[in-house]
Structure 1
Amino acid sequence: MKRVTIRYWIRCLGLMFLIIGLITACSHHTVKNTVSPTNLASKDCRVVQHTMGETCVPIDPQRIVTFSLPTLGNAIALGVKPLGSTYVDMLGEHTYLEGKVEGINSLGISSPNLEKILLIKPDIIIGWNAERQFYPLLSQIAPTVLFNWQNKTWRELFDFVTQVLGKQEAAQQAWEHYHQRVEKLKAALGNRYQNKEISLVFLAPGVIFSETKNSFPDFILQDVGLQRPKAQKAIAPSGQLYFSLEELAKADGDIMFVGTLTDDSQKFLEELKQKPLWKHLRAVQQNHVYPINYLTWRGGNLLAADAILDDLFKYLVNSP
């Protein structure tokens, strides 16, 4: 057997034994990250409260792993480039993170790749409650903090990531940049859209939905002073309002932004365009339907918010 093959199998066996050891340790120490702050805090770490309890995180973490696009985008907005993150592979081209994720290891999508995380040797892992089932194992690899999205906003997630990374000064600068752009956009819009309704429509194959009141894109439209159609001002537990083809009138507005994610959802849009109900929408009749990036408008982080402002400048200020 070739030497390189032997080394490969030795490495695989080593990783397997390490994972088995961590799993065994987790079965006996599932409360490691939830001890009292008085026993946990030190000059090298500070206590952060999160959905799984309390964890002492490094004062100046260098080897960072993030889960979810909102967490990844917020870290980058704070001037921090993680060594690894989930969802990197699904970004594709022409998104708000294009050119910003080179060199970041992909850690999977729905489930984090534990082997890759072990190889990165992180000193902090930042995720959200979707990773609760992996928390006992992750917390044995590195201090792990999870954000609970329930009844929380994208701004609270940004504040959480800021706290974990200790980047309060960078956060203040990022918010100042955002608010300056909002004010500039409001000045450019004047009162042209004072009585106009801005509709948000997102498509998946056979599925039509909108983001509801107090969702990520709705917060930004509120900041700019733009109104949504009455049907889209509902509050839904998931933050999404689904409607059938027969309810397509709920998608209407003076302006309609439409986001698709895949070729299949784009194909679905082309099919919708042939429907009489689509052709009767006033945004369609007035030629005020604009394509937007699905991942950007549902990004849930400050970099995505900046990209949404770009779209609003492009379509509402600079379009004829």
Structure 2
Amino acid sequence: MQYFLRWLILGIFGFTLVTAYSHHTSQNISSPSRLPAAQCRMVKHTMGKTCVPINPQRVVTLSLATLGNVLALGVKPIGTTNEVQIENNSLTYLQEKTEGIKLIGISQPNLEATLLLKPDLIIGVDWFKPIYPLLSKIAPTVLGELDYSTWEKHLSFVAEVLGKQETEKALWQHYYQRIEELKQALGNRYQDKKISFIYIGRNQINIDAKNSYAGSIISDVHLQRPASQNVDAPYGAFPISLEELKKADGDILFVTTFSKIGKEFLEKKQQEPLWKTLKAVQENHVYYVDFMSWAASNMLGTDAVIDDLFKYLVNTH
């Protein structure tokens, strides 16, 4: 649960993962390849260089961000780790795309389960550095960077590993096409409006900053944020007290939660006088969105966020 909550914060608001992993001193380790040089190519990553298969057939992904990017690039992994249980339907933005993919662990991979899958390539993120030597004994393993400012960079890394750079270009074309379609649909209706986005954690209200995953999408649409949110925060977000609730206000307020406790906390706060003083609340412009979609930190999740912006800013008004 500890790793899960930290990942959620990382995914949506770019909180740097603060675990024992971060204290690990990385070494320039090269993952061994069992393939002849002609059948693999060298890829640089956070742990050094690894010769990866030119056309991998049995890919294992470590993290939801990596999973989403691999799927977006047209490759279906045989196994993945996850920060939540896929079967609880919380990954709505992935729809049926995960069907048949074996879950090999929550937060950390079960090494025995990973070995039994006989992968020919393991792709993950840099918080798995401590177990990299073990992973690299199972299959060629590459770990890319992922923090609050690098979700786009991680997509490019995964595309390079898979040799899918042309597919990545097509994904970005699709993304910016959808952004332009949304901007056209919005017209000038929101040029003087402020779009607020907050998430509710365990007994805590958190303000989204513009340098988060969702914040970058909102920024690309040229939607304005309240002054309190139009900043880059060290971890993509910052907590506020109930007395500072005005910082959460805007003409439009998007709200999300990532736990049962968070939902209960939100329900309690909604009954308090300060919540009812918010402009968005008074004008009935508060919209509740799916946390995992707005926390995806991968290209597949962008469509879900843009869909929500269409739904609530274009079709609702």
TM-score, normalising length: structure 1: 0.85
Report whether the alignment pairs 1:296 with 2:299.
Answer: no
Cα distance, 1:283–1:119 mapped onto 2, change above 3 Å: same
Are the equivalent residues in 1 in contact too, given 2:60–2:123 (CA < 8 A)?
A: yes
User: Which residue pairs with 1:60 in the alignment?
Assistant: 55
User: Which residue pairs with 2:106 in the alignment?
Assistant: 109
Report whether the alignment pairs 1:267 with 2:264.
Answer: yes
Question: Secondary structure of 2:188's partner?
Answer: coil
Structure 1 residue runs without a partner (length 5+): 1-29
The size of the alignment, in residue pairs, is: 287
TM-score, normalising length: structure 2: 0.86
User: Which residue pairs with 1:211 in the alignment?
Assistant: 208
Q: CA separation in 1, counterparts of 2:124 and 2:297?
A: 14
Question: Secondary structure of 1:177's partner?
Answer: helix
Report whether the alignment pairs 1:129 with 2:126.
Answer: yes
Are the equivalent residues in 2 in contact too, given 1:41–1:56 (CA < 8 A)?
A: no
Are the equivalent residues in 1 in contact too, given 2:148–2:213 (CA < 8 A)?
A: no
Cα distance, 1:269–1:151 mapped onto 2, change above 3 Å: closer
Q: CA separation in 2, counterparts of 1:121 and 1:184?
A: 43
Cα distance, 1:175–1:109 mapped onto 2, change above 3 Å: same
- Matched AA of 1:317: V
Q: CA separation in 1, counterparts of 2:120 and 2:149?
A: 26
Q: CA separation in 1, counterparts of 2:135 and 2:31?
A: 14
Q: CA separation in 2, counterparts of 1:90 and 1:235?
A: 31
Report whether the alignment pairs 1:93 with 2:89.
Answer: yes
Question: Secondary structure of 2:135's partner?
Answer: helix
Q: CA separation in 1, counterparts of 2:198 and 2:293?
A: 13
Counting only pairs closer than 5 Å after superposition, residues 30-41 of structure 1 correspond to structure 2 as: 33=30
Cα distance, 1:41–1:233 mapped onto 2, change above 3 Å: farther
Report whether the alignment pairs 1:82 with 2:77.
Answer: yes
Q: CA separation in 1, counterparts of 2:40 and 2:208?
A: 38
Q: CA separation in 2, counterparts of 1:68 and 1:41?
A: 29
Two-structure CA RMSD over aligned residues (Å): 1.8
Q: CA separation in 2, counterparts of 1:84 and 1:237?
A: 33
Q: Which moved more, 1:208-217 or 1:129-138?
A: 208-217
- Matched AA of 1:47: M
Q: CA separation in 2, counterparts of 1:252 and 1:85?
A: 38
Q: CA separation in 1, counterparts of 2:232 and 2:61?
A: 29
Are the equivalent residues in 1 in contact too, given 2:31–2:141 (CA < 8 A)?
A: no
Question: Secondary structure of 2:234's partner?
Answer: coil
Question: Secondary structure of 2:116's partner?
Answer: helix
Cα distance, 1:31–1:224 mapped onto 2, change above 3 Å: closer
Q: Whose relative contact order is higher, 1 or 2, with alpha carbons under 8 Å and at least 6 apart?
A: 2
Are the equivalent residues in 2 in contact too, given 1:68–1:85 (CA < 8 A)?
A: yes
Report which of the two structures shows the higher radius of gyration computed on alpha carbons: 1
